[in-house]
Chain A
Amino acid sequence: MSEKVARRRISWPTAAWITILLLTGGFQIYRGAPVDGGVFLAMAVALILDLTGILPAPRTGEWRPSRIILICVLGAAALVLALTPRHGIGDGVAIAVSGILVFLVAWPQHDIDATGGSAWTPRMRRAATLWASVGIAVCLWELTMYFLGTYVDRYGFPALSDLLNPLLDNPIGRILFAAAWLVGGVALMRRGHGNARLLERGGASRHPSEGIK
């Protein structure tokens, strides 16, 4: 049995991404959001099982929804998110279904992990470092405001949720946020798939100065 289990090499970036999911899941449970925490932890566990080789490899290969399916799902989700009350069951179903569809598409995609070093050119490392720094700063600031708001003064140190809540309670603000969320999801899905095709062709960057790796 053990011969059939194909373990994948665990790189430190993969371990870091899984750690981020575990930490976030733990924090969500700490702050009293068990469903949110459960989703993060479930994803982390799925990735760990995938690394051990216990999970079967997708047999159907990469599946991409047709443009018609994408438009139908996007349109339905947009209508529900725009027309039904915030926090309503309609929103919950639309978001849950959108998430399931996205992960059905994202999970089976082949892992393009080879030649990671050569793909990270100096300009990419520079930009990635800055983006990661900003991302970490946002997380630390949000955490700081959460703890100050929880233990010192909620109104004096509001977290991002407190600041955005009035905007999202407004129908226009909610529609704009829902639209940005849906468009962002489609953009992220396209990024992952686009890169897989690019790397399979042997290229890692679109910048002319870097040529084809």
Chain B
Amino acid sequence: MILSSLGFLVEAAAVVTLVILGERDRDRFATLGEILDRVMATRAARICILTFWWWLGWHFLFAQTVDPGAGAP
């Protein structure tokens, strides 16, 4: 569990770092908003990103994310 949590925490830290980098060093790095503005100009990217957004809500709020019987000792 520690290894898994550590990995996700490192990735969360990387996300925060990139957000800060985009805001504080705009001469060298674009912000996430600018990247999304450019990427989501095409229908395929827009639909793909919005499908992932929708799925996050579906998966975590409605669907059964954890199979109660799976992995039981």
Note whether A and B form a binding pair.
yes
Main secondary structure of the interface of A (DSSP, over half): helix
Is A50 in contact with B43, judged by CB distance below 8 angstroms? Answer: yes
Please measure, in the bound complex, the distance between the C-alpha atom of A153 and the C-alpha atom of B29, giving whole angstroms.
40
Contact status of A145 and B7, CB under 8 A, knowing A47-B47, A195-B41: yes
Cross-chain contact of A155 among B28, B56, B71 (Cβ < 8 A): B71
Contacts of B36 in A (CB 8 A): 188, 191-192, 195
Q: Which residue of B lies closest to A164 (CB)?
A: B60
How many residues on chain A are close to B (CB under 8 Å)? 86
Chain B residues numbered 35-63 whose CB sits less than 8 Å from any CB in chain A = 35-63
Is B59 in contact with A161, judged by CB distance below 8 angstroms? Answer: yes
A55 to chain B, nearest CB (A): 11
Q: Which residue of A lies closest to B31 (CB)?
A: A127
Contact status of A127 and B4, CB under 8 A, knowing A95-B61, A95-B62, A185-B53: no
How many residues on chain B are close to A (CB under 8 Å)? 57
Is B51 in contact with A123, judged by CB distance below 8 angstroms? Answer: no
Is B48 in contact with A196, judged by CB distance below 8 angstroms? Answer: no
Cross-chain contact of B61 among A50, A149, A178 (Cβ < 8 A): A178
- Interface digits, A24-52 against B, CB 8 Å rule (1 contact, 0 not)? 10000000010110011001001100100
Q: Which residues of B contact A (CB under 8 A)?
A: 1, 3-5, 7-8, 11, 14-15, 18, 21-22, 26-66, 70-73
Q: Which residues of A contact B (CB under 8 A)?
A: 11, 13-14, 17-18, 20-21, 24, 33, 35-36, 39-40, 43, 46-47, 50, 81, 86-88, 91-92, 95-96, 98-99, 102-103, 106-107, 109, 111-113, 119-121, 123-124, 126-128, 130-131, 134, 137-138, 141, 145, 149-150, 153-165, 168, 174, 177-178, 181, 184-185, 188-189, 191-192, 194-196, 198-199, 204-207, 209
